[in-house]
Structure 1
Amino acid sequence: MPMTHVSMRSGQSAQFRTTVLKDIHESLHEALGVHPEAFFMTITEHEEANFLANMTFPFERSPNLLLIQITLTAGRTAEDKQRFYEHLVSKLQANLSVDPADVFINIIEVASENWSPGKGLAGRNSVIPAADASAQAAAR
């Protein structure tokens, strides 16, 4: 049950922002097996003075830089994450013409007990039906 936050400079359309979130969610589902209904996502837009990022290291970036931070339950392999990165960059490039250099992704992994989806329940699987949880575990 990931939590996703995207930071970007102000000025993109609502359709662009919605597509960014949709592409991230679809990539999480398709590349990492995240439950299709597990989406908790935000975007924050920043004026130029409030958005500082190196635009030349380790390669050139445009003002359209997306800083994407995703918190996930721990347990995915480096290969899983690489597959996700490539999948997401491909979707953003195809759907929005985002330059791959402008997609900066940070994944934070946490233990399952560090999630509470609400109602004081603990653990990310506390609200996923057993059949879905088993299928999800098999997909990882």
Structure 2
Amino acid sequence: MPLTRIALRAGKPAQYRKALTQGIHDALREVFKVPEDDQFMIVSELDADNFVFGRHYMGIERSDDLVIIQIAANNTRGQDQKKALYAQIAENLARDPGVRKEDVFVNLVTVAREDWSFGNGMAQYAT
């Protein structure tokens, strides 16, 4: 059920982008316990003029290799589980494809269960 958007500077090879999606999905599976087949990700590569960010915001030194990750998920997780997800994503991406933890920016957007339609014009999670 998570919908993940990944934005990064253009120019990285396909294997790098695949490692990003795999590392994020692995973290979601481990921490949020999402099913294996529950993978919906959009990767956007942007040129420098369309990828603008604060290089030093909050005292964190970001490089051109910044990866911005936005995840929409059900509002069913507590603060500790969210923190664990952020840490696991940073750890996974540091390992493969080698993103510095300072360059892993995550934003979690929580939504109600009825805010999803997975196809057929139905709200499968609505009760």
What TM-score comes out, normalization by structure 2 length? 0.95
* Structure with more helix by fraction: 1
Identity of aligned residues (%): 33
Q: CA RMSD in A?
A: 1.3
Matching residue of 2:73: 72
What TM-score comes out, normalization by structure 1 length? 0.86
Query: Where does structure 2 lack aligned partners over 5 or more consecutive residues?
Result: none
Structure 1 residue ranges, 4+ long, deviating more than 3 angstroms after superposition:
123-126
Matching residue of 1:131: none
How many residue pairs end up in the alignment? 126
1:61 aligns with 2:57: no
Write out aligned runs for 1:113-124 (5 A).
113-124=114-125
Q: Deviations over 1:24-78 (max 9, x none)?
A: 1110001111111111101100011111100111111110000100000111000
- Partners in 1 of 2:81 and 2:124 — Cα distance? 22
Query: Where does structure 1 lack aligned partners over 5 or more consecutive residues?
Result: 127-140
Letter in 1 for 2:77: R
Question: Is the radius of gyration larger for structure 1 or structure 2?
Answer: 1
Contact 1:114–1:123, Cα closer than 8 Å, also in 2? no
The 1:19–1:28 alpha-carbon spacing in structure 2 relative to 1, beyond 3 Å, is same
- Partners in 1 of 2:18 and 2:72 — Cα distance? 19
Letter in 2 for 1:97: G
